[in-house]
């Protein structure tokens, strides 16, 4: 073995240890989804099921309207992601490329709103949405995203500040307006950051439990996280079925991260966040 490898060996060992540590809960969830109920509660633990029971997935999925829950969650994720990308990119473009009086003060106020926890605004938001007649609809979960998020605006602004102004000046000389510059020049350049924001928002919304719990009452409007919580409270607790539903819910985020990991790394490095 080379001396360089020996010097890095403790680092590799530490990384492998933490990788196994973090992957173990996921491994246990997936294997438990295939186990019979007796194997799941056996002691000593049964690490690998004796027979892989696909019936756990089918029966648990059909026991509740999880197809409707999946559709609701997908609708909320798509609606909020599109809203965040459009609104945040427009606001970030304005802060990064326009000079106007009070710009820096407004940006500081925008960042200061990140320090206000969602729990503080929860009751006023509920009262406001109730006045609009939006309670028990998906609107409270989708429409606020169309007004932007301070964190995502900050990410996009940091990237836009690094783009040379000569591109904008050349486009203006060619007769392009600011919206054309925004849509045809800057947005293609910030694609890695846009993908990063889309992944961050999708994961956050897909796993959100408190928002649907507060704003939704009708079971037909439930998202997957709320449906899973209700499923755990129906009758006897079947842990194999719960693990099966949990494993299914984890699949879409894993697929999204797998295809977007290159853009995620580029987006993080380009915005200066380590």
Alpha helices of the chain — where are they, by DSSP H? 3-33, 37-40, 55-63, 66-97, 103-112, 118-132, 139-142, 150-161, 165-173, 178-181, 187-189, 191-206, 210-215, 224-232, 239-270
Domains of the chain, first to last = 64-270 (1.10.3720.10)
CA–CA distance, 162 with 185 (Å, rounded to integer): 14
Residue 24 tokens read as: 């173990």
Count of beta carbons in the 10 Å neighbourhood of residue 49: 17
Residue 153 contacts residue 91 (beta carbons within 8 Å): yes
pLDDT of residue 62: 85
Helix 224-232 to helix 66-97 angle, to the nearest 10 degrees?
140
pLDDT of residue 87: 94
CA–CA distance, 209 with 190 (Å, rounded to integer): 31
b (16+ CB within 10 A) / e for 191-222: ebbbbbbbbbbbeebbebeebbebbbeeeebb
**CA-based angle 162:200:103, to the nearest 5?**
40
Residue 180 contacts residue 171 (beta carbons within 8 Å): yes
What's the predicted TM-score (pTM) here?
A: 0.84
CA–CA distance, 200 with 212 (Å, rounded to integer): 18
For the chain, 274 residues long, give each residue's pLDDT as a single digit of tens. 567 767 778 888 898 999 888 888 888 888 888 887 777 777 787 788 877 778 888 888 888 888 999 999 999 999 999 999 999 999 999 998 888 888 889 999 998 988 888 888 888 999 999 999 999 999 999 999 999 899 999 989 988 888 888 888 888 888 888 888 888 888 888 888 888 899 889 989 998 998 899 999 888 899 998 888 887 655 566 777 888 888 888 888 888 877 777 766 765 655 544 4
pLDDT of residue 266: 64
Question: Residues 6 or more apart from 202 whose CB is under 8 A from it?
Answer: 77, 81, 253, 256
pLDDT of residue 272: 47
């Amino acid at each position: 073995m080379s001396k360089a490898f020996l010097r890095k060996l403790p680092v590799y060992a530490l990384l492998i240890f933490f990788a196994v540590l973090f992957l173990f809960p996921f491994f246990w969830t997936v294997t438990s989804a295939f186990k019979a109920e007796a194997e799941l509660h056996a002691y000593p633990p049964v690490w690998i099921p004796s027979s892989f029971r696909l019936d756990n997935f089918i029966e648990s999925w059909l026991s509740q309207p999880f197809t409707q829950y999946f559709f609701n969650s997908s609708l909320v994720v798509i609606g909020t992601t599109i809203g965040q990308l459009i609104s945040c990119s427009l606001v970030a473009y304005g802060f990064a490329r326009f000079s106007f009086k009070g710009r820096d003060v407004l940006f500081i106020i925008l960042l200061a709103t990140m320090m206000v926890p969602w729990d503080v605004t929860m009751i006023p938001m509920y009262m406001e949405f109730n006045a609009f007649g939006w309670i028990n609809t998906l609107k409270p979960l989708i429409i606020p995203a169309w007004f932007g998020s301070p964190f995502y605006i900050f990410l996009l602004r940091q990237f836009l500040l690094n783009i040379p102004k000569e591109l904008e000046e050349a486009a203006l000389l060619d007769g392009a307006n600011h919206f054309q510059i925004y849509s045809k020049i800057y947005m293609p350049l910030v694609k890695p950051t846009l993908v990063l924001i889309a992944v961050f928002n999708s994961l956050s919304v897909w796993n959100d439990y408190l928002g649907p719990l507060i704003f939704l009452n009708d079971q037909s409007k439930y998202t997957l996280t709320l449906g899973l919580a209700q499923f755990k409270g129906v009758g006897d607790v079947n842990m194999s079925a719960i693990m099966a539903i949990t494993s299914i819910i984890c699949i879409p985020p894993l697929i999204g991260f797998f295809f977007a990991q290159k853009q995620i790394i580029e987006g993080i490095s380009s915005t200066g966040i380590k």
